[in-house]
Amino acid sequence: MTITAGIDVGSTYTKAILLDDDSKIIARVLNRTGYKPGEIAEETYDAVLEMAGIGRDAVSYVVATGLGRFQAVFSQLGVTDLTSAAWGANALFPGTKTILDVGGQSVKALRCDEKSAVTSFRLNEKCAAGTGAFLEKTARYMGFGTEDIGPLAVTSTLEIPISGVCTVFAEAEVINHLSQGVAASDIMQGAIVSLVGKSVQLMKRVKMEPEVTLIGGIMRFPSMVTAVRELLGIDVNVVEGDMVQYVSALGAATLARYQLEKIRSDTDVGFVGVR
Amino acid sequence: MSLTTSNTPQGAAATKDNSSIIGRGNKEGNQLFRDWYQELTTAPSRGEHSAYVFVMGSLAEILQSFGIHTIFPEVNGLQTAVRHVADDYIAQGEDYGYSTDVCAYVKADVGLQLRGGDHPMGKIPKPSLAVYTNACNTYLKWAEIWERMYNMPSVTIDVPGSRADGRHTWSGHVDFENDLKYVRGQLDELITVCETVTGKKFDIDKLRETMHYTNVMMERYERLIELNKARPAPYSAVTDGTVYLGVANSLRGRAEGAKYFTDLVEEMEYKVANGLGTTFEEKYRLIFVGVPCYPIFRRFNEMFTEWGGAFVGSSYMWFASGGANTGFQFDLARPLDSLAEGLLVTTRDAMDTMFFSNRNIVDAIEPFGIDGVVYHPIKSCRTVSTGLADNRRAVIEETGAATLFVESDHMDKRVVSEAQLKNRVDAFFEGLATRRVRQGAGESK
């Protein structure tokens, strides 16, 4: 059996996936990235191998992605999270043309073709507004943790607009709402809608066209997906459960298989990336 | 400036004969530049006058004919950024009262003036006058700062630009002739101010001499740009190009400048004839649009060279060369009329290069064999940055070229995020690689 691996060393979480010959997921593991991305990449990779009951020598090719990809020294190839997102989204939803990836520290909108090549992309600029950090900080101001965001927002009955474009300044807005007796759930929902508004702007800038696939850790919150659907007015693809966090790792593992096949067929048209 | 690249070129092995010619341009350029700053430092002790001028329309020919030194605040500013001390100067400018939104060149210069001209390259003399065109809207407000600080005259040369995209008039056309008269009249006013400041009479033969040297420089500079059509390109239009720009501005109208570019063209012709490139394997040929990222100048370039990306063209080498990119030749039989015409045509071209850069880029893509266009808008300068997004769209629509849009600043490291830049650059090259693979497989882009 030929096994390939993808590891996504993201700003907040590090994810690893193993694929078998049929591109079926053998194992997947997620850890918080923390402050030592190199160490956590090693730990996460070893953990996924342990889950599959195999050693490193059983894996034929490893592709790393995410901002910390350069720290995954055991990988043979490193690609940006844009490329891995395109490969992952297409592996799950082959008709994907536009992807919105909302992660902990970045939001990305990209367009790709049927062969997973990225044709256009836009990222948030030097600002955390519109990223997962915006929601995390909003939750934290109100005494909640990251995992409370989803359950909190679905109980909202009234959406409170959060107009601030700055994650730091939004704190003042949140405190103001709380002091006026607004429910935390409504503030949370307002933050989600604000984030979605900024994300959709990026999607428009890449000339979004269907099918649209949503990925990234923030998409595990149902309110987020609902807000995107409502704002776009079209249906969107979202993989169920926490798999939505693994899409880029899946893309890396899928790309690893492609790369391996090219190498084995001795053709000179393999994907070009950096280790 | 210490902006040299290594002298070991890509391509054929260096031989004994070429060891003296390859890398000469960067080496001599750096030395000339240091000498020039030293000359400025000691100018007041010799009782010599200095003028603060700008890269787009310095009028060096007239000023040099009076023996007035030209000082370029933009060059002073970028030197502080390359040497990683710009933030101190900028902070001083902000403490003085200028907003974070104001051009960082201006704030660094204010800091420099407040320090009495202390600069990493030497001591910058106080100005006897300032001369500037309207090519940059900030120039006008900038000069007003010096007027207040030093109570010296400043001369604005108002140069009419293009009335609309692609609509130029030339000699013989009524609009052009009117524009020419307008500019010519302002040159007379400048000469009067120079006479007052220096106490010297205007000498038209000295003007002819300075214009002759500029003619040589401009002819060679145009050839230099042309030579980078070769594969591999003999120089980087961003790193090496900045050295060349430094000399083109500082030694304009002088024999040393003319000789430098004559030698430089000889070096590049040699490299082209021998298939010599820069220091890495050239895989992708790029055009750079905007002003370089000086706070991480070397690292910024490495993000591209690591992928084999070579900057073979740069809009900066066009609009910041004082019109040298056009190769304009002054008619020395009618120096002042010709100087006015040159100023009109080249400043118009510089403004077009900023505002209608899509024209030049589209025209360069095929002859320079361009794989991608890199847009680098800067927070400091809305003049050159506003409209780049539309410009990019126009280039894509007309040519289908691969493009990258990365924003930072030319001076202020507070708005330079290397990690964000790198991720975008890497994604850009992944796209270029995919394009190339597909083109190799006979697929469309």
pLDDT band at B185 (very low <50, low <70, confident <90, very high): very high
**pLDDT at B6 (0 to 100):** 39
pLDDT tens string B92-118: 999 999 998 999 999 999 999 999 999
Q: What percent of chain B has pLDDT over 70?
A: 95
- Interchain proximity A67–B427, CB inside 8 Å: no
- Over 50: is that where the pLDDT of B2 sits? no
Going from N- to C-terminal start, the domains of chain A cover 1-93+242-275, 94-238
The sign of the CA dihedral A73, A76, A78, A82 is negative
Q: Does ipTM surpass 0.95 in this model?
A: no
- Over 90: is that where the pLDDT of A84 sits? yes
If one counts the domains in chain B, the total is 1
- Interchain proximity A80–B423, CB inside 8 Å: yes
- Over 50: is that where the pLDDT of A21 sits? yes
Q: Which of A81, A118, A125 sits opposite B431 (nearest CB)?
A: A118
pLDDT band at A162 (very low <50, low <70, confident <90, very high): confident
Residue-number span of the structural domain to which B217 is assigned: 34-440
pLDDT band at B17 (very low <50, low <70, confident <90, very high): low
* CA B251/CA B27 separation, integer angstroms: 16
A63: part of which helix (H) or strand (E)? strand A59-65
* Residue A209 structure tokens: 């066209």
- B440 vs B138 pLDDT, higher one: B138
- Over 80: is that where the pLDDT of A222 sits? yes
**pLDDT at B168 (0 to 100):** 85
- Over 90: is that where the pLDDT of A168 sits? no
- Interchain proximity A272–B431, CB inside 8 Å: no
Chain A partners of B420 at a C-beta cutoff of 8 Å?
A: 123, 125-126
* CA B389/CA A125 separation, integer angstroms: 14
Parallel, antiparallel or unpaired: strands A98-102 and A212-215: parallel
**Closest to B328 (Cα-Cα) out of B221, B243, B241, B205:** B221
Distance from the B433 Cα atom to the nearest Cα atom in chain A, whole angstroms: 6
Q: What is the CATH number of domain A1-93+242-275?
A: 3.30.420.40
Residue B68 lies in a domain: yes
Q: Which of A80, A269, A271 sits opposite B426 (nearest CB)?
A: A80
- Tell me how far CA of residue A70 lies from CA of A64, A187, B333, B423, in angstroms: 8, 38, 63, 11
Residue B11 lies in a domain: no
pLDDT band at B14 (very low <50, low <70, confident <90, very high): very low
Q: Is A67 on the interface with B (CB under 8 A)?
A: yes
- Interchain proximity B423–A126, CB inside 8 Å: no
Q: Which of A118, A125, A269 sits opposite B437 (nearest CB)?
A: A269
Chain B partners of A119 at a C-beta cutoff of 8 Å?
A: 431
Chain B partners of A118 at a C-beta cutoff of 8 Å?
A: 427, 430-431, 434
**pLDDT at B13 (0 to 100):** 45
Q: Which of B415, B437, B438 sits opposite A126 (nearest CB)?
A: B415
**pLDDT at A123 (0 to 100):** 86
Residue B410 lies in a domain: yes
Q: How many CA atoms lie within 13 A of A112 on its CB side?
A: 31
Q: Which of B306, B423, B441 sits opposite A67 (nearest CB)?
A: B423
Q: Is A82 on the interface with B (CB under 8 A)?
A: yes
- Over 60: is that where the pLDDT of B9 sits? no
Q: What percent of chain A has pLDDT over 90?
A: 63
**pLDDT at B229 (0 to 100):** 98
- Interchain proximity B430–A126, CB inside 8 Å: no
Chain A partners of B433 at a C-beta cutoff of 8 Å?
A: 271-273
Tally of residues, chain A? 275
Q: Could you count the other beta carbons within 10 Å of the beta carbon of residue B184?
A: 17
Residue B148 lies in a domain: yes
**pLDDT at B215 (0 to 100):** 97
Q: Cis bond leading into A37, ω under 30°?
A: no
**pLDDT at A164 (0 to 100):** 61
Chain A partners of B436 at a C-beta cutoff of 8 Å?
A: 272
pLDDT tens string B388-406: 989 999 999 999 999 999 9
Distance from the A205 Cα atom to the nearest Cα atom in chain B, whole angstroms: 11
**pLDDT at B8 (0 to 100):** 45
* CA A222/CA B442 separation, integer angstroms: 44
Q: Which of A118, A121, A126 sits opposite B417 (nearest CB)?
A: A126
- Interchain proximity A117–B438, CB inside 8 Å: yes
* CA B36/CA B47 separation, integer angstroms: 17
A10: part of which helix (H) or strand (E)? none
Task: Tell me what the mean pLDDT of segment B244-266 comes to.
Answer: 97
Chain B partners of A273 at a C-beta cutoff of 8 Å?
A: 430, 433
Task: Tell me what the mean pLDDT of segment A102-110 comes to.
Answer: 88
* CA A195/CA A205 separation, integer angstroms: 16
Residue B21 lies in a domain: no
* Residue B280 structure tokens: 């890495």
**pLDDT at B66 (0 to 100):** 98
- A263 vs B123 pLDDT, higher one: B123
Distance from the B426 Cα atom to the nearest Cα atom in chain A, whole angstroms: 7
Q: Is A172 on the interface with B (CB under 8 A)?
A: no
CATH class of A94-238: alpha beta
- Interchain proximity B427–A83, CB inside 8 Å: yes
